[in-house]
Structure 1
Amino acid sequence: MGHWLVIDLEATTEEGGWPLEDMEIIEIGASLVSSGGHEVDHFQRFVRPLRRPHLTAFCRGLTHIDQTKIDAASPLSNVWPQFERWLSGHQPRLTGWASWGDYDRRQLEQDWQCQELTSYLSLIPHLNLKRRFAEARQLPRPVGLNRALQLAGLQFSGQQHRALNDARNTARLLPLILPL
């Protein structure tokens, strides 16, 4: 059996939210999970946004990401090749990648296109685990990650709205959604 990669992104935003095209990635978190549902490896980096490099007070409060971490970070054009190098060692066993909802996939695709980046992820299947969880549990509509964990009898582990913590918590639901 192969591994699944669970990705979560944090991005620039303001209270009430911004349209996807106005958002930029500020943190990438990825948890590589074995067929048994255990983390095999992980990746986490902060990313400096290009258009709006100063985080809004709302964004800082939501993510608990300090402006100094963003100021010291590299832009996505430098961070993404680091991610691809990390991922290359896992490609032979990688079945696909997943995220909680479709936002992360859409944000990545937008940023890859805008910055002329390529990714191995575009060649393998993506699963919207938020939708799959709702289908598996026969819920009337998809729920947030924290609520899904509660429904599964689990508690959120770590700080919410931090990319690696969110990816790891999402990965905990993977065995309940997919036959791993």
Structure 2
Amino acid sequence: MDNFDSTLIIKNIPKSISDITNLLPTVPKETKSFGRRRVLLTYDNEATAQAVLRQLQQLEVTPGKRLNAAFFRKNEKPAANTKTIKPVRANKTTQCNLHTAGETAAPQISKQLGLLETIYVEGEPGADKTNTSSYLTKLRKPHLTMQPYKYVICIDFEATCWENQAPPKWRESEIIEFPAMLVNLQTGKIEAEFHKYVMPIESPKLSAYCTELTGIQQQTVDNGVPLQTAIMMFQEWLRKELRARNLQLPKMSKDKLIGNCAFVTWTDWDFGICLAKECKRKLLKKPSYFNQWIDLRAIFRQWYKYRPINFADALSHVKLVFEGREHSGRDDARNLAALAYKIASDGAQFAITKDLAPFQLNSNCIL
């Protein structure tokens, strides 16, 4: 890999980013702008450039689209009497040869050794421009990457519900159970657990359907705590557990955008709809670290090339058995932790799949 340089290129910078340097975890040695939408960043060495690139490629500039960042390659003329290896073209990508001109290794061997880098080319027919640095396209190389997260926190809310109710995005549900499991991705062990029942305010009386589905009784939520109190109690628990293990959530500081611990949910409903809508309706202060999470269903679909009907089907597909009661928040979160460990053990690399505030750090949250 001696032919790697230490210059990065960022392309298609959206208009919402006025100064790209504000998002850089490490200040470059030199910055060159080419118009408003392209910039070259030169670092002192390759290792620093690679570290910056890994973090930049996790930034979601718009929903479903990550920052277009890659190593910058200068066009070089081949040496005399040598044969340049032509890259293999896929449907949606162009694979660029990273060998020097004199090397004669076969393209397939180069690909296995990670010496072919897949990038998306502007203007290329069939190029996928929606997510040029997508983490999910790299899931097929488990042995070439390291798991960025040592721990994950699996959360599965239970909320008020009714028979024959509207689709999730149109409901005005209230959280009634708040569970969280801190799981070690190297051992699969749940090392800490948070659990609180929450008192609903807008619809204080549970429906018979909700009680039957979740097993949560009316008296249980009557003795619960308000959501804002539950969030404050969770933050105290979170602060204690993260500090005990030297863990950091994503975007808590400029120099550690990825972090080494992240929230995991099954679909985007828990944080993207349920918590977000309830906090907005009730004018509650929501910690900004709830804006980033890993949707394990998205990881599952891409890694196993299988679209599960539901969570139980996903467990069955990887030979896991649900333990406990379905739709119990605590049991759902524990089984989600087991699935997260299984997927990580099978080689999938985790990364943030959703960020509700892609241009903001979480520095206002003290953990």
TM-score, scaled to structure 1: 0.90
1:1-180 matched pairs, under 5 angstroms: 2-18=150-166, 19-20=168-169, 21-36=171-186, 37-91=188-242, 92-94=246-248, 95-106=261-272, 107-114=274-281, 115-119=283-287, 121-122=289-290, 125-139=292-306, 141-178=307-344, 179=349
Deviation at residue 108 of structure 1 after TM alignment:
1.6
Q: CA deviation at 1:33?
A: 0.5
One-letter amino acid of the counterpart of residue 58, structure 1: Y
Post-superposition Cα deviations, 1:4-32, rounded to whole Å, max 9, x if no partner, equal: 10000000011133444411100011100
Shift of 1:142: 4.0
**Shift in Å, 1:116:** 2.2
1:135 and 1:53 map into 2 onto residues whose CA distance is 40
Q: Is the 8 A contact 1:84 1:120 kept in 2?
A: no
Residues 1:17 and 1:142: Cα distance change in structure 2 (over 3 Å): farther
How far apart in 2 are the matches of 1:62 and 1:164?
Answer: 14
**2: CA distance, partners of 1:109 / 1:72:** 24
- 1:7 touches 1:31 (CA, 8 Å); kept in 2? yes
Q: 1:28 touches 1:163 (CA, 8 Å); kept in 2?
A: yes
3-state SS of the aligned residue for 2:157? Answer: strand
1:55-114 Cα deviation digits (max 9, x unpaired)? 000000000101000111111021110011101113341411010111111212223333
Q: Which runs of 5+ in 1 are unaligned?
A: none
Instruction: State the structure with more CA Rg.
Output: 2
User: How far, CA to CA, are the matches of 2:289 and 2:191 in structure 1?
Assistant: 18
Question: Matches of 2:324 and 2:289 in 1, distance apart?
Answer: 26
With over 3 angstroms needed to count, the CA separation of the structure-2 counterparts of 1:88 and 1:113, relative to structure 1, is: farther
For the residues of structure 2 that align with 1:131 and 1:117, how far apart are their CA atoms? Answer: 28
SS at the partner of 1:97? strand
Q: Give RMSD over aligned pairs.
A: 1.8
Deviations 1:132-152 (A, max 9, x none): 11211101x343111111111
- Partners of 1:149 and 1:35 in 2: how far apart? 17
Q: How many residues align?
A: 178
The secondary structure found in structure 1 opposite 2:323 is coil
Give the TM-score of the pair, scaled to structure 2: 0.46
Report the CA distance between 1:120 and its aligned residue. Answer: 5.3
Higher relative contact order, structure no. (Cα contacts within 8 Å, ≥ 6 residues apart): 1
* Maintained 8 Å contact 1:134/1:143: no
Say which SS state the counterpart of residue 324 (structure 2) adopts: coil
Question: SS of the residue aligned with 1:112?
Answer: helix
SS of 2:163's equivalent in the other structure is coil
Structure 2 residue matching 1:149: 3-state secondary structure? helix
The answer as to whether partners of 1:47 and 1:79 remain within 8 angstroms in 2 is yes
Q: Which has the higher helix share?
A: 1
Residues 153 and 264 in structure 2, CA contact (< 8 A), matched pair in contact too: yes
